[in-house]
Amino acid sequence: MTFKATNWTPTEQIGERKIDQMNDNAEYLYQYTPRAVYTLGALRRAEGVKIASGRVVIGKSTSDTAGVEVRFGNYFSSRCEPNVTTGIVSSGQTNIFCVVNGIGRLLPDNRGFQVGVNIAAGQAKRDQILSTFYVSWSAMGY
């Protein structure tokens, strides 16, 4: 089963073939829509769950610490505290620690979050951001 766009011209009559394709499209969307459950304390939602993801750049620096702010715009509902996970994409440099906080608060909220990274090199001359790397992130909320 594949999804196929279906259109009608203004004077075209409804036909069985196009109605069948619309039903197939609805079934396709149902089968291939991601399923998710958002849980936060006593709150548990299985409908209206949203997933966002992205990647931020951490540029080369003589410092061993950097921070970047990620904004969600109006993607998540107000009062939502999305669950945020991160991963480091780096070539060559290891011992990179990443912390996620909310903007002006401990937990991320519907506005976004802050990423803080620190390099924990064993040698003082390597205790800096030697080359550009990325922090990939995913957020799930409602």
Q: What is the pLDDT along the chain (142 residues), one digit of tens a residue?
A: 789 999 989 999 989 999 999 999 999 999 998 889 999 889 899 989 999 999 999 999 999 999 999 999 999 999 999 999 999 999 988 899 999 999 999 999 999 999 999 999 888 878 999 999 999 999 999 9
Taking the model in full, what pTM does it have?
Answer: 0.78
Of 100, 110, 107, which Cα lies nearest the Cα of 135? Answer: 100
Contact 108, 101 (CB under 8 A): yes
